[in-house]
Structure 1
Amino acid sequence: MSISAAFFVQAQDISVIRNSVDVYSNAPMIGSSKFNAMAGSNGALGGDGTSLMTNPAGIGVAIAGDISGTLSVINNKNTASLAGSSIDYNINKANIGNVNGVATFQLMTESPWKFINVAANISTTSIENYIESPGNSDISIAKNLVDQDGNNVVGNLSYLGHAYNRYGTQTQFNIGVGANYNNAVYFGASINMHGVDMEQYDSAILGLDLDNSVTTFDKQYTPYSEKSSGFSGSLGVIGKVSNQLRLGASIETPTWWTIDRAYRDYYDGGDGIYYDNFVEDRTFRSPMKATLSGAFVPNKNFAINVDYTLGLTKPRYKVQGPAESELNAVFNDNYKNLSEIKVGAEYRIKALRLRGGYSYASSPFDSTTISSFSNTGTVSDNNYSNFILGDRNTIGAGIGYDFGKFYIDAAYQNITSEYKNPFLAGYEFDNYNTGYYSGDFDVTTPSSVVSDVKNVRNNFFLTLGWKF
């Protein structure tokens, strides 16, 4: 990593970098219970509307109409650790996470084209996230101040705690068409529409030794809110190598996002800190993705599928000023292309369905060297892996029962990730300060505090479906 990129990482609000990847580029979406139990692995199997999230050619595999709705119950737990202390925080959410359907149209002709099918899928998930890091009074920042008598004094601000707090919802709507050619090759295409409604906070608690006061400080340009919409397109194909082996491939274009953003800009008015509210729009392009899939179906009772997804490009903002240039520099120097492997299987015992799956997604960032505080308060350059976001492991399990026209499925997912969580750093230039602000003064340090975060998500799903 270059020195300039290390500077940009600390000059920017880390939450913007995290959300660019975690929300706008690589968020796993909720499918049906079957989809979730198999960790989203269905790229060469297909058969229902959730295929639109992996390989739209799976729509062409369907030979009967299908519609389902899924109730999702999400538990999101963050444990942030620093200097021997830890803070846990749990978020629980329940909503209708997925609705999808397929309509099949059998072609009554002598042509080898057997079916033309259409499908729709809508997924909704909470992106609420709260990371509270413990304080460490050995970390202190010196600040030149003026006392009530007009004398110049030096105060020391001890670090007592920090929180990233995000609220919001993400939606994805897919609509597509699939075709069956001679029951051997399947083609598909889809249009994907995305939406995000989000608020982000970044706050630190600091204690001043001059009067023993404790004050909450907000990061420059926070809180901010974003209402965003985006679109992408997908193309896919599945081919039967034999009656038992299927191979699939799909490609998804970048998602082109339009982001309407409102934020606070703090400044020193001479007699205290003030802020103005500003609005702006941004244009963001997420990475293009390709997925290769293989499925083995030895009989009607068992199927196993493997998907491998690779990012082909990097995230990028349209440059409208220094902020977008800095963000692009971070992605150019630090971002690793998405790499994810998913394995899912289903076993049938008459009307009973047993399912399981596993997914591994690599960290989206290279190891990064930044200036940071140790637990004893000293400052040095340190290298961190799993920086900002870490590897993600997903384990899924599920059960279902087919009543004929109706079916019911249930699933459980455990998703874990561990990463290094930097905060507090900022820079001060002429008329430019990316530090933290209270109502009285700003605090700026070029060094980060870095906590360890373990994120665990325990998700439960219940699907009701109807075949027609």
Structure 2
Amino acid sequence: MGGSFGALGGDFTTLSYNPAGIALYQNSELSFTPSFSMVETNTSVNGDNFTNNKFGSNISNFGFVFSGKNMDEEWKRINIGFGWNQLANYDNGIEIITENSTTSLTDLLLDQANGVTIDNLNSFGASPAFWADIIDLENNFVDTATGWYAFDNGNYISNVNPLSNKTQYHRIESRGNMGEYVFSLGSSYQEKIYFGATIGIPTIDYTETNFYSESNFSDTTVELSSFSYEENLIAYGSGVNLKLGAIMRAGSNTKIGVAVHTPSYISMEEEYSTSINTNWDNGDKLSESSPYGYFRYEITTPWKVIGSFSTILQNKFIINAEIEQTDYSFTTMYSDYYSFSEENTQINNTYTEATNIRVGGEVNLHPFKLRAGYALYGSPYKDKPEYETENYSAGVGIDFGGTFFDISYTLSKNLAD
């Protein structure tokens, strides 16, 4: 239903959006939702178009809601819920193979190196490139008295001719998700006003491998047959936030909801490494790796406000709508070891306020329920308003009397593509 459950309630995902939805449960419920995904990525390089598909499976949510007994005629039951909701899926893959006679990755590595002595080369790029012989000093004469290069003066050359035709291969694979453990509490007053609160524990788990290689050089004056460069990133973290929500009946079949999300305070850790491998015509192989990179920092996300509406028509049709407002420019990063002042200024200059809209509907054909939805997520970028995302969804549910089975399909499309 486009994710527009804010005023409808009674669905476990609402605990991460409008926690007042937990107060509408009249019975205890166990929820478990597996999901399967296919991400299609279209890329254009040097006039060639590439399409990559990434298939995956994961868990969208699991949790339990305990519905208590009515306390009195005014204040009804207290409901308690806990579990996990997936908020984002990072599974993706891109693979590109192309012929290029104008540029090389060594151009970037050479730019990193020029003007820098060997001991001060970038540990994750130019330094392993130098020791793997992709780049070299203009004069690499070694002084036998010192055992070191006599002309360590920051002047380098590339052992790859960028104008040589070559086969370039690039693969990026990412896996992981952003989820949230939720601990929620809700109650209702006269079954007219519903209140709820959620303590959220957001979690991030992200892994990326970036592999790049060049081979089949047409220029044979240098006896390098191929080289590869690989980056590995592991990022993980957790934090805390608070969500408050309320739902009010505006009639027997109509409800209006509002929710406020505090910023999430997330502690992040990153592990990073690179490696370079070269293969030479004479059979030699060189392999150089960067040192182990580790960094810890904190992120504060912006506030979020959500307004929602739902109505039931003829006891058969449900219509939901939801609007969400957040300002991504209020995201901040900080660390005890680094100021992040430049990055925070860039965030403020790059990102802006965005409006997200979600609508959905359901038709009750007992025991079947047919659902459809649409969502439009506004661009977070100041200078790129076209970077919006559309979601289309459809599904069917079956009521077995105490047990529910639902299946849905969601198509997500970036409008800038």
CA shift, 1:261, in A, is 1.7
Counterparts of 1:86-105 in structure 2, within 5 Å, are 86-105=49-68
Q: Which residue of 1 aligns with 2:309?
A: 294
CA shift, 1:320, in A, is 4.5
- 2:16–2:198 Cα contact (<8 Å) kept: no
Q: Which residue of 2 aligns with 1:413?
A: 410
Whole-angstrom CA distance in 1 between matches of 2:314 and 2:69 = 24
User: Does 2:161 correspond to 1:156?
Assistant: yes
CA shift, 1:302, in A, is 1.4
Whole-angstrom CA distance in 2 between matches of 1:405 and 1:322 = 54
Q: For residues 185-216 of structure 1, give each alpha carbon's deviation from its aligned partner in whole angstroms, at most 9, with x where no partner exists.
A: 11110011122222223344346645364322
2:262 partner letter: T
Unaligned 5+ segments in structure 1 are: 1-37, 369-384, 420-453, 455-468
Q: Which residue of 1 aligns with 2:295?
A: 280
Q: Secondary structure at the match of 2:68?
A: strand
Whole-angstrom CA distance in 2 between matches of 1:260 and 1:108 = 45
Q: Secondary structure at the match of 2:340?
A: helix
Counterparts of 1:330-369 in structure 2, within 5 Å, are 330-367=346-383
Q: TM-score, normalised on structure 2? A: 0.77
Whole-angstrom CA distance in 1 between matches of 2:157 and 2:374 = 58
Q: Which residue of 1 aligns with 2:69?
A: 106
Whole-angstrom CA distance in 2 between matches of 1:279 and 1:347 = 52
Q: TM-score, normalised on structure 1? A: 0.69
CA shift, 1:183, in A, is 1.3
Whole-angstrom CA distance in 1 between matches of 2:413 and 2:365 = 31
CA shift, 1:282, in A, is 0.9
- 2:84–2:180 Cα contact (<8 Å) kept: yes
2:405 partner letter: I
- 1:81–1:133 Cα contact (<8 Å) kept: no
Q: Which residue of 1 aligns with 2:7?
A: 44
Counterparts of 1:48-447 in structure 2, within 5 Å, are 48-110=11-73, 112-124=74-86, 126-135=89-98, 137-140=100-103, 143=110, 146=136, 155-157=160-162, 160-206=168-214, 209=219, 210-211=221-222, 213-218=225-230, 222-264=231-273, 275-312=290-327, 314-320=330-336, 324-367=340-383, 390-417=387-414, 419=416
Q: Secondary structure at the match of 2:103?
A: strand
Q: Measured at CA, do residues 320 and 139 of structure 1 come closer, stay the same or move farther in structure 2, by a change above 3 Å? A: farther
Q: Measured at CA, do residues 273 and 109 of structure 1 come closer, stay the same or move farther in structure 2, by a change above 3 Å? A: closer
* CA root-mean-square deviation: 3.0
Q: For residues 64-104 of structure 1, give each alpha carbon's deviation from its aligned partner in whole angstroms, at most 9, with x where no partner exists.
A: 22222222111122121123212222222223332133221
1:156 partner letter: N
Whole-angstrom CA distance in 2 between matches of 1:134 and 1:103 = 54
CA shift, 1:321, in A, is 5.4
Whole-angstrom CA distance in 2 between matches of 1:138 and 1:181 = 72
1:233 partner letter: L
Q: Secondary structure at the match of 1:365?
A: coil
Q: Measured at CA, do residues 204 and 241 of structure 1 come closer, stay the same or move farther in structure 2, by a change above 3 Å? A: same
**Higher relative contact order structure (alpha carbons within 8 Å, sequence separation ≥ 6):** 1
1:214 partner letter: S
Q: For residues 205-254 of structure 1, give each alpha carbon's deviation from its aligned partner in whole angstroms, at most 9, with x where no partner exists.
A: 34664536432234xxx422122112211000111122232211101111
Deviates more, 1:358-367 or 1:180-189: 358-367
Q: For residues 25-53 of structure 1, give each alpha carbon's deviation from its aligned partner in whole angstroms, at most 9, with x where no partner exists.
A: xxxxxxxxxxxxx1211111101322102
Q: Measured at CA, do residues 272 and 245 of structure 1 come closer, stay the same or move farther in structure 2, by a change above 3 Å? A: closer
Q: Measured at CA, do residues 105 and 273 of structure 1 come closer, stay the same or move farther in structure 2, by a change above 3 Å? A: closer
Deviates more, 1:354-363 or 1:154-163: 154-163
Unaligned 5+ segments in structure 2 are: 115-134, 142-155, 277-285
Whole-angstrom CA distance in 2 between matches of 1:326 and 1:162 = 30
Whole-angstrom CA distance in 1 between matches of 2:320 and 2:69 = 26
1:121 partner letter: G
Q: Measured at CA, do residues 146 and 190 of structure 1 come closer, stay the same or move farther in structure 2, by a change above 3 Å? A: closer
Whole-angstrom CA distance in 2 between matches of 1:321 and 1:164 = 30
Whole-angstrom CA distance in 2 between matches of 1:352 and 1:396 = 17
- 2:71–2:77 Cα contact (<8 Å) kept: no
Whole-angstrom CA distance in 2 between matches of 1:323 and 1:202 = 27
Whole-angstrom CA distance in 2 between matches of 1:292 and 1:136 = 51
Q: Secondary structure at the match of 1:307?
A: strand
Q: Measured at CA, do residues 365 and 178 of structure 1 come closer, stay the same or move farther in structure 2, by a change above 3 Å? A: same
CA shift, 1:319, in A, is 4.4
Q: Measured at CA, do residues 265 and 300 of structure 1 come closer, stay the same or move farther in structure 2, by a change above 3 Å? A: same
- 1:206–1:217 Cα contact (<8 Å) kept: no
- 2:232–2:274 Cα contact (<8 Å) kept: no
Q: Which residue of 2 aligns with 1:25?
A: none
1:356 partner letter: A
